[in-house]
Amino acid sequence: MIQNQIIFQKQISSISERDAARLSQMDTQALTTAGNIHHVPPGTRILFQGDVCKNGYVIQSGIVRVSYELADGRRQILAFYSNGNLLGFYGKKTYPYSVDALTDCHILQFEVRNFQSFLINHPNIQNKFLLNSLCEIQLLQRHLIGAVKFDIISRTAQFIAESCACVQYFDHATHILKLPMNRRDIADYIGISYESLSRAMAVLERKGFIRRLEVGEIYVENSLLQYIYSY
């Protein structure tokens, strides 16, 4: 049991380097001088793909969904972001994707042209945003490897393991994972059908890796992380 817990913590730490990039309370207070904080209720679109990029955003609290919409109407979910993530600051003329609030959010809105000067004057915050971006690139790399090399069940297990690294989702004491996104969002993110996701969840439960509780809640066994990181 102790050995499993050590393995569990080791695997979680390997995918949660972004904790080092988290903004401190002092950083957050400094950021409030760069713009205005807005309350955003669940289901609200924050960024529209293709709109002119005038404003950037920093998530102060809550969870958002980042998605790319194809010309034929299909959607690919790129990421789920939480507090500390920077949105809309890409040096492009238009936003490359859409962003929607999944939960109750507080978002700092700022003008892109003014934010560049703010970052120059606050190098510590600039470094944390850079580190956060590097962590997201690493997560994307793992996601791409999973999409190419993993089967549907392993991709589903990989998503659960990655979600366990998010302190907003996972309670280490109880091993309960609370997911703010619905199953269609998860299926779009890992690139499988809704029906395939349901079957994969059932297989993982039969094998004893997870136990489904209430809607959006999963009990995660230590063995799930051993399974996914054996690849």
| CATH match of 21-122 with 2.40.110.10 | no
As a whole number of angstroms, the distance between CA 182 and CA 102 comes to: 9
**pLDDT for residue 223:** 80
Are the CB atoms for 182 and 226 separated by under 8 Å? no
**pLDDT for residue 103:** 95
Nearest to 3 by CA among 161, 219, 11, 19: 11
Q: Pinpoint the residues of the chain covered by CATH 2.60.120.10.
A: 21-122
Q: What percent of the chain has pLDDT over 90?
A: 37
Q: Is 186 exposed, middle or buried (0-12, 13-18, 19+ CB in 10 A)?
A: buried
**Alpha helices of the chain — where are they, by DSSP H?**
2-14, 25-31, 112-121, 123-149, 152-163, 183-190, 194-206, 222-228
Q: For 52, how many CA atoms within 13 A lie in the half-sphere containing its CB?
A: 2
Are the CB atoms for 4 and 223 separated by under 8 Å? yes
**pLDDT for residue 11:** 44
As a whole number of angstroms, the distance between CA 142 and CA 162 comes to: 10
Q: What is the mean pLDDT of residues 144-149?
A: 72
Q: What is the mean pLDDT of residues 107-132?
A: 82
Q: What is the mean pLDDT of residues 89-102?
A: 85
Grade residue 125 by pLDDT with cuts at 50, 70 and 90: confident
Are the CB atoms for 7 and 224 separated by under 8 Å? no
Q: Is the model more confident about 111 or about 186?
A: 186
Each residue of 204-225: pLDDT tens digit?
999 999 999 988 899 999 888 6
pTM for the full model?
0.79
Fold (topology level) of 150-228: Arc Repressor Mutant, subunit A (1.10.10)
Each residue of 73-89: pLDDT tens digit?
888 899 898 887 888 76
Each residue of 1-33: pLDDT tens digit?
334 443 344 444 444 455 555 677 777 778 788
Q: Pinpoint the residues of the chain covered by CATH 1.10.10.10.
A: 150-228
Q: What percent of the chain has pLDDT over 70?
A: 85
Mean pLDDT of the residues in the chain:
82
**pLDDT for residue 21:** 58
Grade residue 150 by pLDDT with cuts at 50, 70 and 90: confident
**pLDDT for residue 13:** 46
